A and B are shown apart, each in its own frame.
Chain A
């Protein structure tokens, strides 16, 4: 791994040079430029179709939420209150009640579920919105953590706790599939610890991605909210027997953070390397007359293929195809026929190859950087190396927090794929029934 690559400088250079984003005029905000926004649109169209396929309908809920809404769910308000951006003035007058810019929409959507959900026949209710949200973050980084970001947030209501849990799991699988098949990111799906879970949830599930500097990026989360919000907001339905019951709920979100994830998963010293299925431009055509800066411009922008046509090529009716993911001659194929049909075939084949190889390479990288630990000292060593530590875990919440303070690493998740059986907690020596993944994270 290159030194340059591991630095924040590299990331910010790529974001600027590839024209993905600019800093906004207000600290912590950003302008998403067309090239960056096109990546987001790729994600949007794939995910929107997948959600609709699952029976989720799009809607739009107001951005401004009365402060009193947050106070209804105790954990939720505690989690979000410090990050709220609050409107107190409008149209030249002080507002009677301050309004917060949504940091997430559980509260407002639940105030509506309480009206819309009346009978068991109204369930399941599955809504989604594509919206901007605001969280007053102190340390920000384009795409990865910003005051304002774009996301989709899905919110569902179900008759039973089992269905709500199943929904959270199903959506996690949708996110995992997107990351792996489209973004070529071999994410690890798992459950968050109590410390790390969403404020107001019974359980939070996550896909965790490994960046090229070894840090973890939480790339999408789904939550089993149980009946916490439905109790707070009085969302009740009459079941088939006429009894009033509280709905059980799930919510799930994926954001523009994923764009940062793609950059940091695949980029190299030359710049971006985009998986063909995410790339706004999949191939660029260059001639011998093209100046060198043009080649490096498109390389830096991560366009997966370059088709080069020289005068001799024209004479022989051929061209050369160069792959962005493999530098130099190694990734170049000469003598590709220019005849449109054959060329298209060849290009499509190459794009598939690039897509598959980026995933392979990222998977290899991931597996090389996850190490099993069985003792506290081993744990510290692995984290110190900038890698992920995997070990049996039976520590308490306090011990988890202490470990974070000591090492800078957080418990990323309990992977859904467990080795089975049991083991000994690497920290406490107590018997443990699951392994956890720890890493430093964005």
Chain B
């Protein structure tokens, strides 16, 4: 080993294979030419970063630190491991990872902070001692953990220590409290060497060696960077993905949304950050759908986020559906509001009083408005990025017509547009159908839906709904108009909504063990161009390659494509391949020295891995074709999978067997609500021990009654009740 880590410290170690390399590398360490990064979990809450430069053993010593996040902890007698609803802000360990809200409960008795450390010097036990002196000893470090250490640091009058002490709430960590809390934590020193930056001792090539974040520390994004087999604990160029889609689907999904940089977790449980890579997809969906509804004559508007309590309670059915999930504003500044204000979970109750005012005569109809907004539903169900979050983005259309015929027609026009978003843009096959009376939107006359299916979990997922509200709401809100012959009538209304959940369905459908796979039509980058300048290449040849790359880029942009050239010089081509595969860019164009000689470029598909060589002159024509092929192949593949996942059965035994195989089931049904409830109960397994098991055995419900119905011969009986069947319904476990 070239450099030493304290015995209990984990992580990256540099090993030299030859004596010459050992000598040169050791010299680089001694001369402080090597950048070192560590990750630690320390006691207390540290809000801001800084530098500690308290001399150690009479020699100067300097450690840069910056907090990444903190977790509240409860002392012994507190929660058991495995909590994680986040409501009380408790941090705990579940398996090998932290759960719980971050940043809640300031001043909670105990907290730990995850720190990034950058020591400039390398004194004995420097990191452990510096942090202890700041009053934030490293977790699992009995040698330097005591209240005394912190107090001593204060006594030294060191400003950095004092700042750290105050940021941590000024508490002294009593050894007893730690002993009590320790069962929540894995044993051992919570300190890892995670990054080394140096020049290769022989070639002088700059090397950045990084470890994925230690699994013990958190599930947050792994540090980016190139890892070469200098340290033995890390395989080469392992970017991000550790779980496999078939092996542990839910873990795979959690990782893939983070590692592809689509999502970041946030201090508020159930709220996520949509990073540019994800938001660009939403932008594409939005632009397409917005243009389509404007063609239909729908106009955009914006209604306030706040709903008064009175308004919210106008519609009884409706309120029962949402009241339990409402978030309430009760204060402005430091004063209490007279009446709390609800944050919209949906906007019927804020919009329809205006519809009552605006609609007087048949000439005011149809009124077709849409808004693009955020909504908040404070649920306590297990949150999943995109799929179920407490805040999400959507469009909600609300329209009013003079006749039922017009309303019916619009419901289906919109449903077709939703199906087109899934199939044409996201390459996800869906089943169009009508919801059963049990599953329809509270207050609707009927609800139509597009349903997708996730084969890995065997669960259906509602992709978007278009409701005919009939006259239910117009009667409630007195939305009346004068007809052409002078009589008064209630308006016929629709509402329809489509959310960012669709992005999650897309990821689940197409992603693989290397990352997400994004269909060309919605991907922010459709083609990534990677020049491969080998080190042997002369200056002139490199310049020629760069110029060729720029030319191809320009030609593709002229063809109307979204192109990115990755010419970063600090990463290898292989690392870049992984990087863009993780992000799901549909097509990679490689330009290497041999391609330069032959006048060609190599095209590699993300979805199939297939490669083909194309002459430069043909690139601008071939790439758009190939993107179209990828788009349709992705849909075809997903459709083929879906088809194998829907089984048509006529008996209860067949139904249960299909569910057992994690399939959806098309079965003849008597269309009675009590039977649906009965099926749900009978198809549920025993309560499982953990979440996955519970979900695998939850009861099945109707996903929809598909618009496209197989023939139903006279005398066909319901698979569940044995009564005469009225239709074929699609059943399944669901999200």
Contacts and interface: CB of A to CB of B under 8 A. Distances in A.
Given A114-B67, A147-B304, A236-B49, 19 more contacts: A25-B308, A34-B299, A34-B369, A57-B279, A57-B280, A58-B280, A59-B273, A60-B279, A62-B273, A85-B331, A89-B340, A96-B101, A96-B105, A111-B266, A111-B267, A148-B304, A231-B48, A232-B47, A233-B48
What is the interface of chain A mostly: helix, strand, loop, or mixed? mixed
Given A25-B304, A31-B301, A115-B221, A90 B378 contact: yes
B67 A234 contact: yes
A150 interface: yes
B105 A97 contact: yes
Given A242-B35, A244-B118, A87 B343 contact: yes
A97 B90 CA distance: 12
B89 interface: yes
A22 B328 contact: no
A108 B380 CA distance: 23
Given A24-B306, A63-B391, A115-B264, A68 B354 contact: no
Given A37-B300, A63-B376, A236-B49, A112 B67 contact: no
Interface stretch (A131-139, A284-292, A332-340, A414-422): A131-139
Given A59-B274, A62-B271, A115 B304 contact: no
B223 A118 contact: yes
Interface string B190-221: 00000001000000000000000000000011
Given A31-B354, A64-B268, A66-B104, A101 B273 contact: no
Contacts of A195: none
Interface string B607-651: 000000000000000000000000000000000000000000000
B33 to A, nearest CB: 9
A31 B391 contact: no
Which A-B residue pairs are the 7 nearest by beta carbons?
A90-B378, A234-B49, A34-B299, A91-B378, A57-B276, A242-B35, A62-B271
Contact of A38 (B299, B330, B331): B299
B273 A61 contact: yes
B48 A234 contact: yes
Nearest to B377: A91
Interface stretch (B152-160, B319-327, B491-499, B703-711): B319-327
Given A25-B304, A25-B353, A30-B304, A85 B266 contact: no
Interface stretch (A76-84, A172-180, A303-311, A365-373): A76-84
Contacts of B301: 31-34, 37
Contact of B327 (A29, A68, A90, A231): A90
A67 to B, nearest CB: 9
Nearest to A146: B304
Given A64-B271, A82-B333, A84-B333, A29 B304 contact: yes
A304 B572 CA distance: 58
B304 A24 contact: yes
Contacts of B340: 89
A109 to B, nearest CB: 9
A93 B87 CA distance: 9
B393 interface: yes
Given A84-B333, A244-B64, A127 B302 contact: no
A121 interface: yes
A83 B329 CA distance: 13
A238 interface: yes
Contacts of A57: 276, 279-280
Contacts of B390: 90
A91 B325 contact: yes
Given A83-B333, A238-B118, A232 B197 contact: no
B67 A131 contact: no
A81 B332 CA distance: 9
B704 to A, nearest CB: 28
Nearest to B290: A41
A97 B89 contact: yes
B171 interface: no
Contacts of B374: 60, 63, 131-132
Interface string B584-617: 0000000000000000000000000000000000
Nearest to A64: B268
Contacts of B280: 57-58
A41 B300 contact: yes
Residues of B in contact with A, size category: 35 or more
A328 interface: no
B379 A91 contact: yes
15 contacts: A22-B357, A31-B302, A31-B304, A32-B301, A37-B301, A62-B266, A64-B391, A85-B341, A91-B326, A97-B103, A98-B331, A112-B273, A121-B568, A136-B332, A244-B64
Contacts of B578: none
Contacts of A98: 331
Contact of A90 (B328, B341, B570): B328
B304 A89 contact: no
Contacts of B445: none
A247 B342 CA distance: 38
A127 B369 contact: no
Residue in B68, B101, B378 with the greatest tally of chain A CB atoms within 10 Å: B378
Contacts of A111: 266-267
A258 to B, nearest CB: 14
A99 B376 CA distance: 13
Interface in A34-90: 34, 37-38, 40-41, 57-66, 68-69, 72, 81-90
Residue in A96, A101, A108 with the greatest tally of chain B CB atoms within 10 Å: A96
Contacts of A66: 103-104, 267-268
Residue in B35, B299, B327 with the greatest tally of chain A CB atoms within 10 Å: B327
A37 B299 contact: yes
A96 B87 CA distance: 6
B106 A97 contact: yes
Interface string B45-74: 001110100000000000010111100000
A88 B354 contact: no
Contacts of B332: 83-86, 136
A236 B89 CA distance: 27
A37 B301 CA distance: 5
Contacts of A62: 266, 268, 271-273, 391
Contacts of B282: 60
B305 interface: yes
Interface in A227-247: 231-234, 236, 238, 242, 244
A22 B276 contact: no
B327 A91 contact: yes
B579 to A, nearest CB: 13
Contacts of A88: 328, 330-331
Contacts of A99: 268
B523 to A, nearest CB: 14
B275 interface: yes
Contacts of B331: 84-86, 88, 98
A26 B308 contact: yes
B303 A68 contact: no
Contacts of A63: 374, 376, 391
A43 to B, nearest CB: 13
Contacts of B326: 90-91
Interface string A121-160: 1000001000110101000000000011010000000000
A232 B67 CA distance: 11
Contacts of B488: none
A231 B301 CA distance: 40
Interface in B353-387: 353-354, 357, 369, 373-374, 376, 378-380
A85 B340 CA distance: 11
A276 B393 CA distance: 32
Contacts of A244: 49, 51, 64, 66, 118
A112 B35 contact: no
Contacts of B89: 96-97
A105 to B, nearest CB: 10
B97 interface: no
A59 B299 contact: no
